[in-house]
Amino acid sequence: MSDTNMRIDGPALWADLLETARFGGTPKGGIRRLTLSEEDRQVRDWFASACEKLGCRVEVDSMGNMFARRAGQDDTLPPITMGSHLDTQPTGGKFDGILGVLGGLAVLRALESSGYETRHPLEVINWTNEEGARFSPPMMCSGVFAGVFDEQEVLDKRDRAGARFGDALEAIGYRGETRCGERPLAAYFELHIEQGPVLEAESRVIGAVSGVQGMRWFEVSLTGRDAHAGSTPMAMRCDALLTAASMIEAVAALARAHGSAALGTVGLIENRPNSSNVVPGEVFFTVDLRHPDDAVLARMEEDLRARFERIAAGSGTVMTLTRIWDAPAVHFDPRCIEMVAEAAREAGYDPRPIVSGPGHDAAYLARVAPTAMIFVPCRDGLSHNEAESITEEEAEAGANVLLGAVLRADRLL
């Protein structure tokens, strides 16, 4: 069979997506599969078993990243890789991340069933802790692989309950011996749902992703004074939650002030002592700023700090503002982007050039290997939500484009 006639098995891919949704499945039809949890271990075991049944060798590195390898005609060549992640948000959907992993599995299955041998070895990768929902920052272990983060510092990270990352990784049995980052890659392709509304609004099936916008994350701690709600006059209060409310409004205001491409979000907040008749004395919250232009993003951070300092000074609270993550804008490899576009056109789709708003493991892989991404639509642009939804046809289309791009890379790289 020629590579131009090869297609992935769409129903088998869809069955895999539904099967893996039971690991951490929620009553509302979503998934809660936090990284390094028991549910994460279960889906990792399933993935490893599925790859081994195809004759792949599965290896795990020191950060828990999984590599399922199908040998090539010249196994000394660096592999062409595909992948994404298996972890989810606390109220995540069935397709975010895992579509890229199972789409890669579908590619290997198509090659195996047709008896086609690639020149390069191929690998499907599951990156640990892409979401950053339990351990922050996100894309943590692809970041270690690319040399962005120090391995020991990541192993020592703790979640909000105090659990250490390295201990949690050991507990689920997925800390390998190979040092993270020592594997060479010929190229990396990541299939993902768009997580936004553009493709659906334009009735496009495939997005050829040119890069990822820049983003910065911050942690904010406010210290006021606990006081009795019934006996403390309003003028004599030092209310940390009220201060936080003004700051949250300021995040939205500064995003609007920096143009239509600017985004600002407060997604996590903790209030203490969190009692109905106590004026709050302590608040912790996070801020997420994003923009495609790194210079604008830097100005947004300056604006954030200035606004927060004014608000804190006016309220009498003590503020600590710490930037915990800085991911500059990423531009993917033009050759790999064109491979995606050509594969889409060959499959009968008109690829839509698009920039990713969310971050992805591909953003860090682009530092160490030629990289590109493929987007497919998601209903109403909804993601990080239990109602996240795509169609079987869209999943199949994305995986077929992934197959076409990988085969082009095998010929040309």
Residues in the annotated binding site for Zn(2+): 85, 96, 131, 192, 384
| CB-based contacts of 378, cutoff 8 Å, min separation 6 | 95, 193, 194, 195, 200, 388, 389, 390
What is the Cα Rg of the chain in Å?
A: 23
In contact, 180 and 147? CB cutoff 8 Å:
no
Mapped onto helix, strand or coil, the DSSP state of residue 169 is: helix
| CB-based contacts of 320, cutoff 8 Å, min separation 6 | 220, 221
- Cα torsion 272, 275, 279, 280 to 10°: value is 10
Which residues participate in the annotated binding site?
85, 96, 131, 192, 384
Q: For residue 208, which amino acid is it? A: A
Q: For residue 310, which amino acid is it? A: R
Mapped onto helix, strand or coil, the DSSP state of residue 33 is: coil
| CB-based contacts of 329, cutoff 8 Å, min separation 6 | 211, 212, 213, 214, 292, 293, 294, 297
Mapped onto helix, strand or coil, the DSSP state of residue 204 is: coil
